[in-house]
Amino acid sequence: MARVPRRKVTVIGAGNVGATTAQQIIETGLADVVLVDIVEGLPQGKALDLAEAAPVIGYDVRIVGTNDYADTADSKIIVVTSGIPRKPGMSRDDLIATNATIVGGVVKAAAAVSPDAIIIVVTNPLDAMCHVAMRASGFPKERVIGMAGVLDSARFRSFIADELEVSVRDVRAFVLGGHGDTMVPLPRYSTVGGVPITELLSPERIEQLVDRTRNGGAEVVALLKTGSAFYAPAASVVEMVESILRDRRRVLPCAAYLDGEYGVRGLFCGVPVVLGNGGIERVIEISLTPDERAAFDKSAEAVRELVEHLPA
């Protein structure tokens, strides 16, 4: 009896984010993984190390390291982490020219051999890189997705749980807008055990948590000094991968290409979406107060300015 091939996830970039993403995918047994990088030996070495951990941890999926995109053929999901990371004092926007060139090249190569794949973009500045990925792949909007909203919401949830001394499992939160200083955490839609945090914390303390969430990535960069966050970004990617591969139809905040939703057209921006086997099944529009709407519009405009500065 012929074996049914397992699903394959390609992770482009074998740095901290990419290698940790690959590790978490295989440890959860979601799919076989192909880890790709331009540096010879790097993905092969990390893949071998992870494969040798399998007997101890107990996963049976396979991981392969390669420099050849032919090995990534017929992937269900392509995760793009390649690019230069932020350093102290740099904004995500400072990365735009270099990373646009990198992302465009790797996405074009991967999409050519996996034309039906779903792309998850992690590289910063994330919302702008989604535009690069969609242009380079030629994929429809529902199959190009940015990771940021899951990460930003996770940071907000972590800070809320720590502040209230409760389990993170009972905390739900939404962060909309671009993945940057103008992101829009929504306290009204953020709850602990179903209770809005506006009932549990003072407006002043909520604003402090919101501000920390907006600067969550920079806080990690400042502490590390030689790199940027990778554990939480990887975990955020894996949550999205799981929802797609198992067709969970989870409602997750992701960077999606908007075509009139929220009054925005032709732009990737963080919004709640239903994430299933086909990628983005639909965008969920929630009601916003005038202040929330103004903040969202400001964030979308900041993303649009970045996109206008992308290389032609």
- List the pLDDT tens digit at each of the 312 positions of the chain: 555 568 999 999 999 999 999 999 999 999 999 999 999 999 999 999 999 999 999 999 999 999 999 999 999 999 999 988 766 666 656 778 889 999 999 999 999 999 999 999 999 999 999 999 999 999 999 999 999 899 999 999 999 999 999 999 999 998 999 988 899 999 999 999 999 999 999 999 999 999 999 999 999 999 998 888 999 999 999 999 999 999 999 999 999 999 999 999 999 999 999 999 999 999 999 999 999 999 999 999 999 999 998 887
CATH of the domain at 90: 3.40.50.720
- Domain residues for 106? 8-148
Q: Give yes or no: residues 142 and 209 share one domain.
A: no
**In a shared domain, residues 178 and 121:** no
Clarify whether residues 144 and 168 are in a common domain: no
Q: Based on the fold, state whether residues 111 and 160 are members of the same structural domain.
A: no
- In this structure, what CATH number is given to the domain that contains residue 264? 3.90.110.10
Whether residue 2 is contained in a domain is answered as no
> Which of 120, 148, 176 delimits the end of a domain?
148
Q: Of these residues, 8, 155, 179, 214, which one is catalytic?
A: 179
Reply yes or no on whether 179 is catalytic. yes
Q: What is the pTM of this model?
A: 0.94
Split into its structural domains, the chain has a count of 2
Residues 225 and 122 in one domain: no
- Closest to 160 (Cα-Cα) out of 218, 217, 214, 200: 200
Q: Which of 115, 133, 148 is the last residue of a domain?
A: 148
